């Protein structure tokens, strides 16, 4: 659990949770979006506004469960765990860490996770953890600096499952982290944003058009334009096929609720909701 002061400290450097984003491993944020946060701004499409640091529900639940996992780790291993303030690398001051715990007896960091898919984790006691977590812990090892670190996780998809893992220093990974972190922070310091990687980045980067400005077509973009028009045409054709097939099935079903095969296995449902409107669904299809 980080404090408001630690949140402000995050603006002054790169933390462990930033590193997966910088390496392009995050599903939720791009390097350009992180750059905007480090500069203290976000784009709404109309104007640049201060960063909003409100927590999500998942983050709030993580904050509630983190002390529970910390206590479990301490009791299971007979160790004392402290929660230090922001740690700054002794030389590279932009490299920072807000660790979930410091294991006093073992002189190493503890990282705590309270969500995720159990299938992404390997055998307990190993270093087979999701890559984003591995990168985060390796970052902490650089900042402290230490050789090893521990992870504890509490996954609650199918009841609460507690597990422990260990990170053993990986020099190649830590060099990748150092190089990428240095390059990103150089962008922040110089005010030179990293390149966009998706459409959201471009919408943030160019929130307004330049009235009357025309752009000449290049050979590379011409290729992508042709691909786009071909895909759109195929999508239209497939949509027409889909509509015809749905019509034929609905025509066959009439007032039937469910279409089944010769074994009685449900294939399609066509049910009326509370408002009386019928919804056509293939087996496995979601509303």
Instruction: Give the whole-angstrom CA distance, residue 255 versus residue 118.
Output: 43
Chain segment 4-30, per-residue pLDDT in tens:
665 666 778 999 999 999 999 999 999
Of residues 191 and 49, the one with the higher pLDDT is 191
- What is the pLDDT averaged over residues 65-81? 95
What are the residues whose beta carbons fall under 8 Å from the beta carbon of 225, sequence distance 6 or more? 217
Residue 102 near residue 84, CB atoms below 8 Å: yes
Highest mean pLDDT among 8-17, 58-67, 100-109: 100-109
**Is the entire prediction scored with pTM above 0.95?**
no
**Residues of the chain above pLDDT 90, percent:** 75
The pLDDT-based confidence of 120 (bands split at 50, 70, 90) is confident
Q: What is the DSSP string of 109-133?
A: EEEEE--S-GGG--STTSS---HHH
For the chain, the average pLDDT equals: 89
* Separation in Å, CA 46 to CA 35, 202, 208: 18, 14, 8
The pLDDT score that the predictor gives to residue 161 is 87
3-state secondary structure of 60: helix
Question: 3 is written with which tokens?
Answer: 């404090």
- What is the pLDDT averaged over residues 98-114? 95
Instruction: Give the whole-angstrom CA distance, residue 185 versus residue 89.
Output: 14
pLDDT at 43 over 70: no
pLDDT at 152 over 50: yes
pLDDT at 50 over 80: no
- What is the pLDDT averaged over residues 57-74? 84
Instruction: Give the whole-angstrom CA distance, residue 136 versus residue 255.
Output: 56
The pLDDT score that the predictor gives to residue 242 is 96
Chain segment 214-254, per-residue pLDDT in tens:
999 999 999 999 999 999 999 999 999 999 999 999 999 99
Instruction: Give the whole-angstrom CA distance, residue 249 versus residue 208.
Output: 46
Which CATH number is 4-204 given?
3.90.320.10
Q: What Rg, from alpha-carbon coordinates, does the chain have?
A: 25
Instruction: Give the whole-angstrom CA distance, residue 27 versus residue 29.
Output: 6
pLDDT at 203 over 90: yes
Which of 231, 204, 211, 113 has its CA nearest to residue 161?
113
pLDDT at 45 over 50: no
Residue 137 near residue 111, CB atoms below 8 Å: yes
The pLDDT score that the predictor gives to residue 30 is 95
Q: How many CB atoms lie within 10 A of CB 188?
A: 19
Residue 153 near residue 113, CB atoms below 8 Å: yes
Q: What does the domain layout of the chain look like in residue ranges?
A: 4-204, 220-282
């Amino acid at each position: 659990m980080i404090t408001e002061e630690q949140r402000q400290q995050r603006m002054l450097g790169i933390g462990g949770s930033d590193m997966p984003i910088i390496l392009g491993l995050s599903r939720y944020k791009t390097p350009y979006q992180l750059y905007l946060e480090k500069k203290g701004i976000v784009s709404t499409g109309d104007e640049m506004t201060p960063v909003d640091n409100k927590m999500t529900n998942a983050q709030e639940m993580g904050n509630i469960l983190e002390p529970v996992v910390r206590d479990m780790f301490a009791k299971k291993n007979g160790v004392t765990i402290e929660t230090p303030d922001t740690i700054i690398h002794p030389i590279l001051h932009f490299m920072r860490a807000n660790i979930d715990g410091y294991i006093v007896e073992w002189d190493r960091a503890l990282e705590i996770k309270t969500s995720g898919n159990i299938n992404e984790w390997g055998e307990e006691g190993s270093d087979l953890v999701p890559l984003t977590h591995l990168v985060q812990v390796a970052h902490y090892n650089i900042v402290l600096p230490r050789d090893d670190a521990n992870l504890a996780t509490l996954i609650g998809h199918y009841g609460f499952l507690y597990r422990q893992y260990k990170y053993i220093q990986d020099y190649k990974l830590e060099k990748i982290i150092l190089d990428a972190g240095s390059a990103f922070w150089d962008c922040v310091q110089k005010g030179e944003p990293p390149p966009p990687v998706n459409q959201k980045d471009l919408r943030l980067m160019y929130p307004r058009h330049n009235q009357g400005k025309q752009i000449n077509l290049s050979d590379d973009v011409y290729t992508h334009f042709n691909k786009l028009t071909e895909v759109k045409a195929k999508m239209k054709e497939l949509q027409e096929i889909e509509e015809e097939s749905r019509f034929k099935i609905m025509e066959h079903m009439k007032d039937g609720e469910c279409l089944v095969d010769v074994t009685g296995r449900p294939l399609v449902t066509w049910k009326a909701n509370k408002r009386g409107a019928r919804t056509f669904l293939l087996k496995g299809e979601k509303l």
